[in-house]
Structure 1
Amino acid sequence: MPHSAPIRLRILGSVECWDGDERVQLGGPVSERVLVTLLLEPQRVLPVHRLVEAVWDEDAPATAAHQVRKAVAELRQRIPGGRDLIVTDGPGYRAAVRPEQLDLLQFTEALRRAREHAAAGQSADAAALLREAIALWRGPVLSGNGGAVVDAASAALEERRLTAVEQLFDLRLEAGEAPELVAEIREAIGGSPLRETLRGQLMLALYRSGRQAEALAEYGTIRTVLDEELGIEPGDALRDLHQAILRNDPALAVPATAPTAPPVVTDSRSTLPYDLHDFTGREEELNKLIGFVEDATGSGPLIVAIDGMGGSGKTSLAVRAAHRLTDRYPDAQLHLDLRGYTPGEEPLSPAAAAEALLRMLGVPGERIPDDPEGRIALWRSTMIRHRMILLLDNVVDEGQVKPLLASPTGTVVLVTSRALLVDLDAAHSVSLGTMAPQDSTALIVSVIGERRAEAETEAVAELADLSGHLPLALRIAAARLRKRPRWTVRYLVDRLRDDAHRLAELSAGERSVEVTLRLSYEGLDAGYRKAFRLLGQHPGADLDVYTAAALLDMGVRDSEEVLEYLLDMHLVQQHEPGRYAFHDLVRSFAHVLSRARSSGGTGEFSDEAAGAVRRLLEFSLAASDAACDLLFPGRVRMARPESSFRPELAPLAGAEAARDWFEREQDGLLAAIALAFRRGFDREVALLAANVVFHLDLRGRLDEFLELCRTAVAAARRLDEPVLLRLSLSNLSVACWKRGRFEDGITAAVEAHQLAVDLGDRRGQAKDTGVLGLLLATTGRLDEALSRLEQSIALKRELGAERAEAESLSNISGVHMERGDFDDAVRAATRSVELARELGAVEKELVGMSDLAQIQLAMGDVEAAARTLAQARERAPGVLPPAERALQLILSAEAESRHGRWERALQWAEEALATKGLEDAPVREATVWNTAGRVFHRNGDHQRALSLHRQAHGSAARLGHRVEEAYALDGMAAALTALDEVERAAEQGAAAEAAFRAMGIPGRFRR
């Protein structure tokens, strides 16, 4: 006899079989693989040998066929109605399942219908169906443990899923979504980093969100990934998109969308609060919540738990959903505040809640039992007779809710809580974060009016940012503006910029962000409250468990448990696995708590906070030391003060892991240094900055490099510590050279060198003499530069400072080249490359190879230069800073152009000129522009050549970069001659000749 209730089977992930609300145990791995193989091809007869292959691949035992038949028999016995589900058909078996029974069939049908709706222009319906299909996916079939046959089928299904994901993103982009898509597309890329369609969608979403630079950076990322993984370039579509973003193509603009009609709310008898007329955003969460109700099966109760930090709009969302569902639940719509986080009140007990709910349903007081158990029993027996909505608001924990639930029942129960209610069995969950930026601004506009908002669109966006995109804060801020019509939006924005008083500004009547956060904080026990305050001292955007362990002064495992608990309580957030963050307003609240605990109420930070910051800095120094040792071999580390605790560091397997660590932590390290400077931790500032500048230089973040060096110098002067001052000045001189501030660099290098002499610091003397030589060379003082660099090299060689020697050899090779001493130039560059290679300093090696290629080109040995550059490009893609990569590319373009291989030459030239970050390195920028000018001149594009040389001349003249200034004049003369502007060409040529003579650069040896 067939089973009365349909069996539900799920194979898109781990295999599951459900009989109503009961999960059916299927047996061992053989049974699971047999069932899944049949379900992958429903209604198709699979012979036994095919099932044997699926279970064992090529290692089937002699008894395999017997085991398959035994597994089928067992499945038929375990699954209700199993004999009708797995049918014997001729030589094999067939899975006789209906579409509503199998998630794979539902997945396929949803995709089919989505295609039909999309073809008919019904984009919203198509998107809804794609969401439905994607939501069915829980992972690879059999969680990736199905063997070769199943895995092959799973891979094909994964491809279909990814295609559906891409189609959904396309539809959402067409509908005008952009900022809210960025995180979702990034998550999809994380699992499929080689899919160019996803990367293009991310670029478009970023571009439409006003993040053009990030969109272009994504192109560089996928290009590197494809090159490293497959050795190919991005396809035409991605390249075309990249070019369109570069030129701000109007075709990329957000398509116009039709306004949607406001929801219709029916007027029904209930105790629900009123639905906000200006409810804004949360469409995804609302649809998800209502979807749980629409798709519900079983006998209930249907429970949907909505959690989120205080002020995130949980109640507003629940109320809106309840009003939307009123027609489905006509008996009653009840709302009860359980007072879990209500100022001055204790949470309601389950018995008190039961009494309140009974009275809402009209049960007379005399019928309500006096004892708590009796009240709860009466409520439960009453509940099962009604089809109603029950909104239990402001719940403190699961214990408040569980006694109020009965089964079977037709009630939908909406629960809101600041805590993640993990022990609320069978509950669906909707977690609220902050609002999307466009929804935040829309909420403000709905309160203050379109005319007022349109007059200050930028200020409205800033107001949303400063309100942390938190609904409560947004409503308070907007309400303040509405009540003060004379205030401009900018005036309130300026008031909110003061972090110390921001929470005080976000208060209106009984509503206050600070009070809301304080209630969550005070609900913690003492240990968690202290942990919250300590973690709040971290100044960066996010932190990992190792950093948290340092702040908390505990082990990593314990720190993770603390973070996870605070995450469940929505006092920290998690945007990616393993990293935690404070909402901006929550961090402000943590700082308020720290100031409140300071001695005497002075507003200064407490000893507790100061101790956390000191541990953070000591940890950051130790961790960055470990990363720098791996990433920059051969560097010299100064002596460190003894740490006040034993920091636990993340294990780093090698240079690549160290680079990844810096990428993740760089912004947090900069924020920590800024905090340390404000708090007077000057020694830690100087020491930590000396580590961080290495990676800033490597990534081409030269403005931050320069600013950090200035901060380190100021800290060392305040500390009156000559050793640290010399180190900081030395780094500052390098930063000044890279940013084109040559006179400032010379001043810093001279002071640093004198301090090194006074201290008897020979390593310092060697470095500062070399930097001074580099600066002098750039300003055209080649003879002085040569002398300084020779002194530096001799001293570094004597000290065995091979990394530093490689740097100075690289620098002196350029001086020799400009003077026409090619043999000396080649020897210096070659030795620089050899030393860097021996040390494993790949970046230095590649820079040296660019120097060598430039010398070979100046000598006219184009073949040698091409070989050098080819080796450099293959050596370690992605290692060089952006400006050095641009130089490598433009030298490659010049070598190719001299061979007449124009397609690749022009491609590399354009890529070099478009390099993101080149604009921050004016010394290299001028060289790239001049070299590109020569390439285009050689190709006959004299107007483009003239323009590039003019750019180079303007930049070099402003900087005092005499060498490139002279080459720019020379290039302008050549381009003007080709354009028949003979008189102007003669003027520029004469100026160039005078500049070359002044520097002692002989005419026959010029580039």
Structure 2
Amino acid sequence: MRQTGPIRFRILGSLECWDGDERVHVGGPVNERVLVTLLLEPQRVLPVHRLIEAVWDQDAPATAAHQVRKAVAELRQRIPDGRNLIATDGPGYRASVTLEQLDLLQFTDALQRARDHVAAGRTTEATALLRKALTLWRGPVLSGSGGAVLDAASASLEERRTTAVEQLFELRLEAGESAALIAEIREAIRDNPLREPLRGHLMLALYRSGRQAEALEEYGTIRAVLDEELGIQPGSSLRELHQAILRNDPALNGPAPKAPVAPAVSGGRSTLPYDLRDFTGREEELHKLLGFIEDADGSGPLIVAIDGMGGSGKTSLAVRAAHRLAERYPDAQLHLDLRGYTPDEEPLTPAAAAEALLRMLGVPGERIPDDPQGRIALWRATMIKHRMILLLDNVVDESQVRPLLASPTSTIVLVTSRALLVDLDAAHSISLGTMAPQDSVALIVSIIGDRRAEAEPEAVAELADLSGHLPLALRIAAARLRKRPRWSVRYLVDRLRDDTHRLAELSAGERSVEVTLRLSYEGLDAGYRQSFRLLGQYPGAELDVYTAAALLDCGVREAEDVLEYLLDMHLVQQHEPGRYAFHDLVRSFAHMLSRTRHSGGTGEFSEEAAGAVRRLMEYSLTASDVACDLLFPGRVRMARPTPSFRPELTPLRTPEAARDWFEREQDSLLAAIALAFRRNLDREVALLAANVVFHLDLRGRLDEFLALCHTAVAAARRLGEADLLRLSLSNLAVACWKRGRFEDGIAAAVEAHELAVELGDRRGQAKDTGVLGLLLATTGRFDEALSRLEQSIALKRELGAERAEAESLSNISAVHMERGDFQEAVRTATRSVQLARKIGALEKELVGLGDLAQAQLAMGDAEAAARTLATARERTPGVVAPAERALLLILSAEAEGRLGHRQKVLHWVEEALATKGLEDAPVREATVWNTAGRFFHRCGDHQRALELHRQAHASAARLGHRVEEAYALDGLAQALAALGHTAEAAERADAAHAAFRAMGIPGGIHRGD
């Protein structure tokens, strides 16, 4: 039934005439302009010529008066009771309408009453009236198409509206609002950029919101706009406000905020979950989300999509934001779980979601259409009439959300999803990662209590790490502790360290990290699920697309597509372009899948997983071969097994590129070797370790060098292949020498040499004889060492192994020097440098230059040594290990010191002594300390010399490094004598001479000459 009541007119915007709930069509443009002109001045008689001017401006036709009268007649006929509404009065016509019938009268009345309330001090009532008046405004009269006369009237009304907007903002500022106003004032300024009162309100709102810099910036903006548009400066009021903000004038502070009032039961509907009392962290993301809303413009729904891996706290963030915004969107705050990742449930269809939302708003069931499109249409029609918050939680994809959005609307739509919703047009996006470590700790503390956390701060930090800084895991772990007051934090940490049971530990009631991850995993199609399992075998921190292609047994481009899809699904992470990583708990989940798939839950890894690891090792071996060939020219490879596939390799064309590749991949290569050892891929372990030790040595990571060699030896013994065992033992002997474990090194070198003889491996014999000679020389057994080294050099020369020969020549030069045969020391060191330079082995060349300089210093030729070392220093960065560079620096200081440049080169000494990693290379460390001690002794700082020689002596004696032990004793004797400790000096000198004689070093003190 049609509603009855007076005819209603709306002219603040497009013209509308309503008879109850039916719209009346008043006719064409002439009719509209005549009617609007009359309604603009209700109850006033307008002569026909005024109406003609309003309709046609200056171009009225000869029949204009007739057309106006015809239009009035048609209006009277079309509009119910039109003859009374448009009355003839003398020479013209009058619109006879009441306040109830015309929006213009209502607008004018509300503004007048608001002014009266302001004058009487009733600002609350005035604010309500201004809001009511402004809601009547829909735009310019006749939407700006009425002609010059009507446009002038419309401009006058627009001025009144803008003044009302300014007054409303002023009253709201007086009432204590600030931050909530900023977005609204900015929108008003966008339409009125030259209005100084609006700029002043914005500056004040920004200042009161703690954004003083932005308030001052706003003043600069209006000053520039006024100067450019009008050539004027801001008025006195704005200038005074600017100065007050600059000096933080207390008078600018707003009134204290009023206590919140609970909403009436009959008010807006809310189905939001409760806001977490212990919500922790995510301040940056929350600020960003609220900022999107403050700065919003346009007429469509404001959408903020929050994505992140399962358990990252998406819903908690959205709920907190919704509660913060609830007062600004009073009609309703609705939360709907779209079940995109809910166990044993299908995702809601858009139509089902629309029905649920309509019921939340109280729409009776009988009014909700049965057909899906009808339900969606009714929801969209309802949505545009409300100012509300809509939280669509657990969304599976864009198609689930898009049909639910309507425009224009004042609704805020918050969307949470485990997928990155890239196709949700006009949506702002926030991606949640893991929590910051300090926030993770704070969350645990908020649950278990300060006293318990303060008792075990280190365990709490470790618990946060083992929980992967994932909010869900943190809450579950902390909840377990809260429910078990007798458990220490350390006890739970120890349980979580077992990767095979970690996910089981992170389960409490209905909440489970494993279930959460499984829902994401099962949402993938079969191909992506397999890719996820294969990629999950990777043991390193980050992988690139080439490594991924090997794991997946596919092309690089295809591997990148897979990784990007998993990135969008938040099952992998990305910290830099082109490199991807698994969250620790996600990797644990992938491993769990591999252990249980096809294995009946026995804990054995599937053949699928084993194949991925084999391909990873084959790829790593092939790629590291290329890198080693570039970095270490002249090295000799063992025969490689035929690969099971042809991997695509990272492009490596220069030694610098190879060095960078090793720097990025070194830790991952070590992790891959450890994984392969656990999976019994022993051949791959031994072969890849033989490559990786090169770079570990270059970077001075000697503990890892030694540990890796032990792993390679264990793998080779388990495999039972003598050639791989010989190679691994030989590398172990070198590692033992570098770490000062000489007897262990000698045993490994002897066993390696015996295997080489049994195998008829002459290259192996050559290498192992040389390593044994080096170890014997370090322990002071020079005669044996010289014989071994000469034998090694002869074999290497016969085999054409120039890199290996350069290495042994460098080692034998040191033996010649210690025995006093300086000419031979210089000759062999020079030959070592020449061979290394010939094959491009820069790191060997630099070591040879150091040996040559030591021989030159022993001969007393400091000038030649200084030139040699200057050549070496220019080329050392990034090429030799830190300890080798420290040795070159300290030798440089000794050479220059002998030439009288001691103060000039003191910084070299300090840099050498402070070298990071020197402590891990005890053979070089003792030499550096002894050389530095001699330098300070010559400089007259005998106390510093004494301390350094004592350090060198303690280290060398512990290691059995007899050469440096003897030189340390000699240095101690000289320092003690200079300090006046004659008896102790004599005792130390005797011990030094005895040590030198035992080793056959003539004179025994040539390093100090």
Fold shared by both chains (TM-score > 0.5): yes
**TM-aligned CA deviation for residue 438 of structure 1:** 0.8
**TM-aligned CA deviation for residue 363 of structure 1:** 1.8
* Secondary structure at 1:601 match in 2: coil
Alignment of 1:1006 onto 2:1007: yes
Distance of 1:844 and 1:670 partners within structure 2: 24
Name the counterpart of 2:251: none
Distance of 1:848 and 1:307 partners within structure 2: 58
Relative distance call for 1:769 and 1:130 in structure 2 (3 A) is farther
The answer as to whether partners of 1:689 and 1:709 remain within 8 angstroms in 2 is: yes
The answer as to whether partners of 1:265 and 1:323 remain within 8 angstroms in 2 is: no
The answer as to whether partners of 1:890 and 1:932 remain within 8 angstroms in 2 is: yes
The answer as to whether partners of 1:499 and 1:588 remain within 8 angstroms in 2 is: yes
**TM-aligned CA deviation for residue 491 of structure 1:** 0.7
**TM-aligned CA deviation for residue 875 of structure 1:** 2.5
Distance of 2:462 and 2:486 partners within structure 1: 19
Relative distance call for 1:267 and 1:746 in structure 2 (3 A) is farther
Name the counterpart of 1:312: 312
Q: Which amino acid aligns with 1:813?
A: S
Distance of 1:296 and 1:747 partners within structure 2: 75
1:948-997 CA distance string (max 9 Å, x none): 11111111000000011111111111111111111111111111111111
* Secondary structure at 2:883 match in 1: helix
Relative distance call for 1:130 and 1:975 in structure 2 (3 A) is farther
* Secondary structure at 1:311 match in 2: coil
* Secondary structure at 1:500 match in 2: coil
Name the counterpart of 2:604: 604
**TM-aligned CA deviation for residue 126 of structure 1:** 8.0
Distance of 1:99 and 1:427 partners within structure 2: 23
Distance of 1:863 and 1:599 partners within structure 2: 71
Alignment of 1:509 onto 2:513: no
Distance of 2:403 and 2:830 partners within structure 1: 80
**TM-aligned CA deviation for residue 896 of structure 1:** 2.3
Name the counterpart of 2:284: 284
Aligned pairs for 1:823-834 within 5 A: 823-834=823-834
Alignment of 1:442 onto 2:442: yes
Name the counterpart of 1:718: 718
Name the counterpart of 2:679: 679
Q: Which amino acid aligns with 1:642?
A: T
Q: Which amino acid aligns with 2:753?
A: H
Relative distance call for 1:266 and 1:919 in structure 2 (3 A) is farther
Distance of 1:128 and 1:482 partners within structure 2: 45
Distance of 1:100 and 1:878 partners within structure 2: 58
* Secondary structure at 1:416 match in 2: strand
* Secondary structure at 1:904 match in 2: coil
Name the counterpart of 1:474: 474
Aligned pairs for 1:281-360 within 5 A: 281-360=281-360
Distance of 2:1006 and 2:590 partners within structure 1: 65
Distance of 2:771 and 2:853 partners within structure 1: 22
The answer as to whether partners of 2:876 and 2:885 remain within 8 angstroms in 1 is: no
The answer as to whether partners of 1:266 and 1:326 remain within 8 angstroms in 2 is: no
| Segment drifting more, 953-962 vs 331-340 | 331-340
Relative distance call for 1:626 and 1:879 in structure 2 (3 A) is same
Distance of 1:572 and 1:959 partners within structure 2: 47
Name the counterpart of 1:773: 773
Aligned pairs for 1:411-430 within 5 A: 411-430=411-430
**TM-aligned CA deviation for residue 267 of structure 1:** 5.5
Higher-Rg structure is: 2
Distance of 1:605 and 1:900 partners within structure 2: 68
**TM-aligned CA deviation for residue 823 of structure 1:** 0.6
Q: Which amino acid aligns with 1:493?
A: V
TM-score by length of 2: 0.74
1:350-403 CA distance string (max 9 Å, x none): 111111111222222222211111111111111112221111100000001101
Aligned pairs for 1:545-944 within 5 A: 545-944=545-944
Name the counterpart of 2:178: none
| Segment drifting more, 639-648 vs 353-362 | 353-362
The answer as to whether partners of 1:335 and 1:393 remain within 8 angstroms in 2 is: yes
Name the counterpart of 1:200: none
**TM-aligned CA deviation for residue 782 of structure 1:** 1.0
Relative distance call for 1:784 and 1:489 in structure 2 (3 A) is same
Name the counterpart of 2:151: none
The answer as to whether partners of 2:305 and 2:428 remain within 8 angstroms in 1 is: yes
Q: Which amino acid aligns with 2:839?
A: L
Distance of 1:726 and 1:814 partners within structure 2: 26
TM-score by length of 1: 0.74
Distance of 2:630 and 2:998 partners within structure 1: 44
**TM-aligned CA deviation for residue 704 of structure 1:** 0.5
**TM-aligned CA deviation for residue 903 of structure 1:** 3.6
1:795-827 CA distance string (max 9 Å, x none): 100100000000001101111111111110111
The answer as to whether partners of 2:669 and 2:692 remain within 8 angstroms in 1 is: yes
Aligned length: 768
Q: Which amino acid aligns with 1:755?
A: L
Q: Which amino acid aligns with 1:896?
A: E
**TM-aligned CA deviation for residue 266 of structure 1:** 8.0
Distance of 2:461 and 2:598 partners within structure 1: 35
* Secondary structure at 1:875 match in 2: coil
* Secondary structure at 1:856 match in 2: helix
Distance of 1:264 and 1:882 partners within structure 2: 65
Name the counterpart of 1:238: none
Relative distance call for 1:265 and 1:844 in structure 2 (3 A) is farther
1:298-327 CA distance string (max 9 Å, x none): 223111110000000000111111112223
Distance of 2:682 and 2:559 partners within structure 1: 28
Distance of 1:318 and 1:941 partners within structure 2: 68
* Secondary structure at 1:574 match in 2: strand
Distance of 2:655 and 2:214 partners within structure 1: 45
**TM-aligned CA deviation for residue 128 of structure 1:** 9.0
Relative distance call for 1:889 and 1:125 in structure 2 (3 A) is farther
* Secondary structure at 2:690 match in 1: helix
**TM-aligned CA deviation for residue 876 of structure 1:** 4.7
Relative distance call for 1:844 and 1:308 in structure 2 (3 A) is same
Distance of 1:932 and 1:837 partners within structure 2: 29
Percent identity of equivalent pairs: 83
Aligned pairs for 1:363-374 within 5 A: 363-374=363-374
The answer as to whether partners of 1:306 and 1:432 remain within 8 angstroms in 2 is: yes
Relative distance call for 1:100 and 1:889 in structure 2 (3 A) is farther
Structure 1 runs (4+) greater than 6 angstroms displaced: 98-102, 126-132, 263-266
Q: Which amino acid aligns with 2:985?
A: A
Name the counterpart of 2:395: 395
**TM-aligned CA deviation for residue 899 of structure 1:** 2.6
Aligned pairs for 1:486-501 within 5 A: 486-501=486-501
**TM-aligned CA deviation for residue 570 of structure 1:** 0.5
The answer as to whether partners of 1:547 and 1:616 remain within 8 angstroms in 2 is: yes
Q: Which amino acid aligns with 2:590?
A: A
Mark the runs of 5 or more structure 1 residues left unpaired by the alignment: 5-97, 103-112, 133-262
Name the counterpart of 2:518: 518
Distance of 1:128 and 1:926 partners within structure 2: 61
**TM-aligned CA deviation for residue 873 of structure 1:** 1.3
Name the counterpart of 1:970: 970
The answer as to whether partners of 2:305 and 2:417 remain within 8 angstroms in 1 is: yes
Q: Which amino acid aligns with 2:966?
A: A
**TM-aligned CA deviation for residue 878 of structure 1:** 2.2
Distance of 1:131 and 1:843 partners within structure 2: 57
**TM-aligned CA deviation for residue 748 of structure 1:** 0.2
1:178-204 CA distance string (max 9 Å, x none): xxxxxxxxxxxxxxxxxxxxxxxxxxx
Q: Which amino acid aligns with 1:1006?
A: R
**TM-aligned CA deviation for residue 637 of structure 1:** 0.5
* Secondary structure at 1:325 match in 2: helix
Distance of 1:964 and 1:628 partners within structure 2: 33
The answer as to whether partners of 2:462 and 2:493 remain within 8 angstroms in 1 is: yes
Q: Which amino acid aligns with 1:762?
A: R
The answer as to whether partners of 2:857 and 2:1007 remain within 8 angstroms in 1 is: no
Distance of 1:938 and 1:283 partners within structure 2: 61
* Secondary structure at 1:341 match in 2: coil
Name the counterpart of 1:541: 541
Name the counterpart of 2:152: none
